[in-house]
Structure 1
Amino acid sequence: MKLLLKPLHVVYIIYAVIVFLAIMFLILPPIFVASFFGRVKGGNIIFYFLRFWSHTWFPAVGIRVKRIYKHDRKDKTPYLFVVNHRSYLDAALAVQVMRLPFRPLGKIEMKKIPFFGFIYKQSVVLVDRKDAKARSRSVREMIAVLKEGVSILIFPEGTTNHTDQPLQPFHNGAFRIAIETQTPIQPVLYLDNGDRLHAQGFNLNPGRCRVVYLPPVPVAGLTMDDLPTLKQQVFDIMERELKASV
């Protein structure tokens, strides 16, 4: 049976890639125009096109997205979203399910990809983890974005989790920025992305993608002395929910 299904799976993956690229080329011209409106206004416009991309591609390839809210959805406060990172699908899902406006923190290497790299560069806060000065510029840009009322999304593990543990240790960056700007943290979990698209290799599968929005963690009044405690608190909240969702 597996031998019979394998050719069908290959056809499915080819189809998914073609649809992905077709939508990308469709939205590339308006994104190019929007890029002239500046990093904030233009970036917000770009995300509406990216949301169209995601809302079209996911159902086209048989992936069902389900949102699960464990907090009051009426709050419009800018947040620093922290999300677990299991799959390359995480970024595509984020533009569909995260509340606008927001900007993710993204690896600078991705901007080198032809065509996609242009869209990527216009829609994320780029970070070069190998360059200390570049990291500092990224932090300043994120702080400036938050002051404009735009939320930030960070994967605090820093890289895709290839382990058998629910989470990898968190880096300090997200929590430092949250304290410095007094921006509440909202933990968000992508529960099924690792099953839909494995972190190693392009092995896409149809099915469900659950997104869990956990209650925000306030940071009002916290100082840098509280950073380790805050980081551990958010880690424990996310790990506990991940283990309960297995």
Structure 2
Amino acid sequence: MKPAPGIMVKGSASLDGAPLFRPLSLSLEAGCWTCLLGGSGVGKSTILRLVSGLPTEAVFEGDVTANDNIAVAPRVAYMAQDDLLLPWATIEENVQLGGRLRAEPRCKQKLQDILARVGLSDHAGKRPSELSGGQRQRAALARTLMEDKPIVLLDEPFSALDAQTRALMQDLAVDVLRGKTVLIVTHDPAEAARLGHAIVVMTPDALIACPTPEAQVPRPVDDLATLECQAALMRLLRGQAA
């Protein structure tokens, strides 16, 4: 597979005739994690849908381009806020859904490895209704990891997990997605401080780039620089909400 591309989102969006976000330029560095934070309703999920090529209620005036001049949307794996698991399919079938729709050969070993790493090996034959909310979110993450696309979009992928499992899944995602261009929307400053090579706070009027710690991701949760970054993000977000 070719190296993951850098992505540029440039433009503005409106919703029902009112501005959703004003002209912006969001740059996603190739092979890195970009964390996008901001208040509800500023357009973070809209940005994800624009990059993925999915329909959105917003009217977007601008473009989404890659630095290799190849179409972006076909190279995207997207994990939405809702798990979107098919209720009639087993977890194993849900995780393999993308490959099945594309009629690709099944890779049983890869499937088993990913299910084991997200802690769902013993639940592979179950249906979503038999799992807890956290287990369903892990299944959705496994499906995204199974896609093996160079561009990965994550919309609050760890929000339903307890603190210990969240940290484990963050570590797993960083490991499996190493070298890919990742954009993650999160409301959690601690998560952004751990995972972001770049951290951007989105407001209706602008994007605010925030300094990141020098340590490699995923950063230790108790590292002083990580905690300082988390605190700075919290102050910024509280200021935006005031």
Using structure 1 for the length normalisation, give the TM-score: 0.40
Higher relative contact order (CA 8 A, sep 6+): 2
| Larger strand percent | 2
